[in-house]
Structure formats: C-alpha cells, structure tokens
Structure 1
Amino acid sequence: MKAERIKASIRTIKDWPKEGINFRDVTTLFEDPDAYRAVLNRLAGWATEEEFDLVVGIDARGFILAGALAYQQHKPLVLVRKKGKLPFDTISEDYQLEYGEATIETHNSPLVDGKRVLIVDDLLATGGTALAAARLMKRLGAAHIGFAAIIDLVELPGRQALAKEGIDAFTVIDFTEDE
C-alpha cells in the first residue's frame, strides 16, 4: 500500500487540543484494516531487520501498535503508561510536550536489562515522549534503543532529538503542517 493511501486513512483535526496544533488522529487508520495491516507490516519489517528483543508501547495509541507488533514478532511487551496507571513498583520520568508537561512510568522490571528495545508510538513530534520512554529504558539497563511510529511530523524536531541521543527512528509516513 502506498504512503498516500495510508495518509488518506488518517484524520486531521485542526486546532486540537489547542489552537495551532494539527492533531493527527490515527483511530481512523485503525478502522481501515488494509491501512492498519500495511502499517504493521512496515513496522514489523524494520523491527525484524533491527533484531529487537522486546517491544515497548507508549500509552495509549502506542499500545495498539506495540501489542500487535509484539504478538507478530513473538516478543515480550512492556508498557509505558501515564503516571498513576500501573499497579506495582514503578519508575517515572517527567517530560515536555509541545503543549504542556507530563509524566510517564513503567514497572521496575529486570526484563529490559541488556536487551535491544523497540519503543513504539503513533507519531513522532518533538520527541519528548519518546525520549522520556528511552530514559526509562536506559535506567532499566537497555543495551540498545530504537523508536518506531506511523507518523513523523517532519517540521518538528523529534527525529533530530532522537538521533542526538543515538536512537534510530523509523516512521511509515511523513506529515507537514500544511497537509
């Protein structure tokens, strides 16, 4: 499936959650089984080439992708959630969003130690969430970290921020602000 077809399956909501933000709503992509399958196949192809040991899903849309990818790759799935949503011993990380601040956390688990970790989310914007998840994985002893998403908002500095930290990033499609 061509990138244009995948892009067409994603709804853009202008000025949400605040004025000046073009929200890329991937729930419409999930409703299109052909587009969803094409995205997962591209993510899985990259994950297979990179030989990751486990998949990390970022709350909430990243869970949908990471769960399917972990299942397809037969890899463990680690969840990174919004603060206060995990019931056991956790570690947390604060970070900046393009429109505010947030905190994420994950279970304090030995599963990550020494592993090649693939962090998955729906999109890459400023890189704040991805970098916070990467910091959590580093604190848990990850040997290598990669990041994958459906969308790269190319006019925002996310890809460059990840590269600066030595994190390889793979995205299926790019969006510019005027699309």
Structure 2
Amino acid sequence: MDGQTGHGAISKLAVRDQLLTARRRRPLAEVGAAARAIADALLDAPEVRRAASVACYVSVGGEPGTTELLDRLVAAGKRVVLPVLLPDNDLDWAPYTGPGSLAPARRGLLEPVTAPLGVEAVATCDAVLVPGLAVGADGVRLGRGGGSYDRALGRVPVGTFTCVLLYDDERLPVVPAEPHDRPVSAAATPSGITRFR
C-alpha cells in the first residue's frame, strides 16, 4: 500500500465512523420520510421510468429505506434484481418478486431466495441503484469498505444510470478516495436527484 492509498484508507475510516454515528442518531420518522421522498424522486427520474430492469438492494440499519421503492418498481413492471453477497465479498444477483422472495442472510442482510443470475447480471440492468454513506461533488461514492459495490459498478457499462441513495447531508464537497473506487452518475436524496456527469 503506497502512502497515498494508506492516507485515503485512514481518511475513509474517520469519515465512515462520523457518518454511521449520524445515521444511528437519525429519528425513525425522518428515515421513513426520506425513504418515501427518495422513492418518489427515483420513480419520477426519466432514467428509472424508461428502465426495463433495475438493480437495487434491501436497505439495512440506518440506510435510507428501500422497501417501498422495491415494491413500487415491481408494481411499475420493472424487472428488479438484488445482490446476494458471496463469500469473497463479490455480489451475485437474483430476481426480486416481492417481500416473500427474501430471506435472512449473513451479516444481517435480506437476500432473494430466487435462482442467482451470476455476477455479470448487473451489467444487463438499465439502472443500478446502490447504497453508500456519502458522495462527493465528483460522484465518488463512499461505501462501507467491503469493495462489493465497487466490483459490481466495474461491470456496469459506461453510460448506465448508476445512483447512490443517501440523506441530503451525506452529499459532501469531497469524499476520501482510493484508486479502486468507482464513481456513480447520480445521487438520490429526499430533495431529489443530483446528476454528476
């Protein structure tokens, strides 16, 4: 690890800790209101309205909720695929067909019980919605540090709508970055969609 990368990793740890603490303190009513506002913004976005297939995820803990978003995507006739965490922290993908298609998995996650489609399935989606802790003005996303979504985003064709779901105060001027970090093209927050390029 070179000095630059080491500094980036240390900076990320400090920022992650601050952001996770702020999420734990967020009132439940605010979390619910944010989930509804983000779902509205995404379903109004032309990139999602036009999409036949959408990669998304099941929110956990203090993340902006995705339950309503997932159900509204399915109700709108979208093919929705969700991640399945592999032992090496890579992500496989499987169809979401409703709450009954989910089961508890490792690390407190809910994952689809439908047949997996392979790690490359994310590349076939018209819109890719990902979790994160923050995003910089350049679209660099700060995740939880496992690298799962950076690997998945590396498989997504250039020009695909890639969007991180966040609270408004998690859009920052800059976030610490390392060479492997994959930027996103947009952020969805309760106040709407911000596009980066």
- With normalisation by structure 2, the TM-score equals 0.47
Unaligned runs of 5+ in 1: 1-14, 85-91, 93-102, 175-179
Percent identity among equivalent residues?
Answer: 12
Separation of aligned partners in 1, 2:124 and 2:31: 37
* Residue of 129, 146, 163 corresponding to 1:147: 163
* Residue of 111, 121, 124 corresponding to 2:131: 121
Q: Residue 147 of structure 1: CA displacement?
A: 0.7
Against the structure 1 CA distance between its residues 167 and 39, is the aligned structure 2 distance closer, same or farther, given a 3 Å change threshold?
closer
String of CA shifts for 1:85-111, please: whole Å, max 9, x gaps: xxxxxxx6xxxxxxxxxx342231665
Q: Residue 77 of structure 1: CA displacement?
A: 1.6
Residue 141 of structure 2 aligns to which amino acid in structure 1?
A: G
Unaligned runs of 5+ in 2: 1-13, 94-117, 192-197
Conserved 8 A contact 1:112-1:141? no
Against the structure 1 CA distance between its residues 124 and 148, is the aligned structure 2 distance closer, same or farther, given a 3 Å change threshold?
same
The aligned counterpart of 1:133 is 149
Against the structure 1 CA distance between its residues 49 and 113, is the aligned structure 2 distance closer, same or farther, given a 3 Å change threshold?
closer
Q: Within the alignment, does 1:78 sit opposite 2:81 as a pair?
A: yes
Q: Residue 22 of structure 1: CA displacement?
A: 3.0
The aligned counterpart of 1:171 is 188
Against the structure 1 CA distance between its residues 138 and 24, is the aligned structure 2 distance closer, same or farther, given a 3 Å change threshold?
same
Using CA pairs below 8 Å that are at least 6 residues apart, which structure has the higher relative contact order? Answer: 2
String of CA shifts for 1:138-162, please: whole Å, max 9, x gaps: 437686141141425133745x99x
Residue 28 of structure 1 aligns to which amino acid in structure 2?
A: L
> Whose strand proportion is higher, 1 or 2?
1
- With normalisation by structure 1, the TM-score equals 0.50
Give aligned pairs, total: 139
